[in-house]
Amino acid sequence: MSDSSALGRDEVVDGTLAEYRAFGQLLRTLDADAWATPTRCEGWMVADVAGHVVGQLDDLANLRFAEASAPDSPDRQADRNRGRTATDLAAELDTLTASLGQILAGFDDAAWGAPIDPSFGSQSLGEGVLDLWDDTYIHSDDIRSALGQEPDRGAGLRAAVACLARRLTERSWGPATLALDGMERVDIGDGGGEVVGDPYDFVMAATGRGDPATLGLDRSVNVYG
């Protein structure tokens, strides 16, 4: 696997929809104490993380691209859903996920590779959907981490590695080759020195949630830095 494009359209669509369904199932397990638990997202409780995830999909499913791409969109999405229950947000997420599936089924391969909207610059529809999968997986992990649960090392982890490799390439980080445990090799840029270790540790480091030194890297690997 040389880049995120090696994740095929069907895999990305199916994986993204499955990630949203799993997120809804996670929300349904949360009681009031869990809902109010602080997370590693500064200033956010579990409820705020969930509010952002659901609010983001609401913006995109309703084609509010400018709102969804604005720098303050995560906080606005969390604010919009503040005070709602986990069960309520899970039910809305079910509806939005079904809507997203119908929307994506209406695009052909040409549209999948074409820019989404001027609000997102040159980002293609396929890249945008992969970003959604990555974002939902990572925020699910934010909740799991806050509640002392083990990370999910399934398909979402692979998608996050692929998405972050693309983002690092766009930032001209590296070049490097990800040779992470149990994963396909992923080139960043034209490929170069190998980054080895736990793929979960890489995802945490590349999103500013973990120590990059664990993988022999520095803070420049953080795509939000």
Claim to verify: residue 28 and residue 107 sit in the same structural domain: yes
* Nearest residue to 201 (alpha-carbon basis) of 189, 213, 192: 213
Write down which residue in 134, 152, 170 finishes a domain.
152
| 2 found inside a domain | no
| 3 found inside a domain | no
Structure confidence at residue 225 as a pLDDT band (50, 70, 90): confident
CATH number at residue 170: 3.30.1050.20
Strand partners, 124: 115
105 burial type by CB count under 10 A (0-12 exposed, 13-18 middle, 19+ buried): exposed
For 99, the domain range is 8-152
Write down which residue in 106, 131, 152 finishes a domain.
152
Model pLDDT for residues 53-73, shown as the tens digit of each residue: 999 999 999 989 898 899 999
Write down which residue in 120, 152, 184 finishes a domain.
152
CATH number at residue 21: 1.20.120.450
Model pLDDT for residues 190-201, shown as the tens digit of each residue: 999 999 999 999
